[in-house]
Structures are given as C-alpha cells and as structure tokens.
Amino acid sequence: MSLSKLLGEELLNSEFCRLALTHRSVSNKNNERLEFLGDSLLGFFIANWLFNQFPDYPEGDLTRIRAHLVRKDTLASIAREYNIGEHLSLGAGELKSGGIHRSSILADALEALIGAVYLSKGFEFACDLIERLYADRLKNIPTVEQLKDAKTRIQELLQSKGEVLPTYTVIEKHGKSGSETFSVQCEIENCEEVFIGKGTSRRKAEQMAAELAYEYVSKHLY
C-alpha cells in the first residue's frame, strides 16, 4: 500500500505530515520534535496492546517483545513497505549519500508521522494508524525464546542444567581501528568441541560463537 492510500492525500499533504517528512538536513523546522512525540505514542500503544494480549507474561517478557517491535530495524522495514523514502525532504548531502534508504532516517520519519497524525486527527486515529501499520507483525508475534540472543540462550540452558557458564576469549584481531575483524572462542566446560565466531566487533563475534555453541550443546549434550 502507498503512503497516500494509508493516510489519504489531504492528511499526507497537511502541514504536520509535511513537517514529519522533513529531515534536519533541510531546515531547523524539521521532524525531530514530531519524532519524539510519535516515539512515545508508539511505545504506549505497543505496551498497552501487549499488556492486554498476554495477561500471563511477566514484565521482562513484555519488555523484550516491545523492544523488538519498536526497534529501529522494525520501524525502517515498515517505512520501506509504504515507500516513505520517496516522500522525504532531505538536504543535498543526505540525498547524495542515499539518505532516502537509510534505516535511521526512515525509522525517525515513521515515528514523526505517527506524531503528526496524532496532532492532526487525535489519539484514536493515531492508534488506528499504528494498528494498521503493525497489522501483520501483531498477528505474528515471535516467541520470547526467539527474541533472546545466542549468549542469553546458551547461558540459560547451561544454568538450567547446573553447569558452569561459558567463557569467551578473543583469539584473533585483524585490521585497523574502525575496520577490525574479531575472532572469539566460546568454551563450554566438559565439552571438547571448539566454537569460534567472527565479526566486525567483539560483541558480534561472541554472538556468533555462542550461536554455534548453543546449536551443538542443545542437540548433542542435553
């Protein structure tokens, strides 16, 4: 669906929505304040929806799912589905560097649009918009286990078996600052297998090593 069909031409061309699609590279009058407002509205809507949808979930699980739904990558993905980049007003530098495709800019613009719709049409209309934007994602909420990163999953698995937690050691580091490649080894007590992950940061390398360790341990040891 196009953005014009989602909002309607009149609302899309309103003062608030035009401002919501104006990046700070264009003018001091930009979408940053609307982004702040939209972020708060989105956070409330998702929190309220999850609270009512999952009455038995503890606070930690609700927080994890909410974080997944409102993270920048999710927002940018939704923005791309509605081709928001085509409607953005960007400065010459941002245009040249491909700003209409940048996830951070798209995510901010989507939040700003939510704020703009709230100011133009009110709270109920803004909530209806969020529900339409998130329709598919609210029907396909990932499980809490799916949202846990690899280090958390292997740690919880070992803890549940009374085992010692894994250790992570940087075994190689190549490249200059800003373009390094890390190799990290994850060691599991009483396990002869070696799990080595590589990444552009120590954290990414640790996660990759933990993923390999989890896949092996969960299939072969427990």
Cα first-last separation, the chain: 47
Structure tokens given for 96: 């040249």
Contacts of residue 107, defined as CB under 8 A and 6 or more positions apart, other chains included, come to: 72, 73, 75, 76, 79
Tell me which of 35, 94, 108, 111 is the catalytic residue: 111
CA angle 93, 4, 121 (to 5 degrees): 100
- Determine the Cα–Cα distance for residues 132 and 73; give it in Å rounded to an integer: 18
- Determine the Cα–Cα distance for residues 194 and 45; give it in Å rounded to an integer: 45
> Any catalytic annotation for residue 39?
yes
The owner of tokens 């609210």 is 138
> Any catalytic annotation for residue 61?
no
The owner of tokens 């609700």 is 62
Structure tokens given for 148: 């846990």
Tell me which of 39, 94, 108, 211 is the catalytic residue: 39
The owner of tokens 């992950």 is 197
Residues annotated as part of the active site: 39, 111
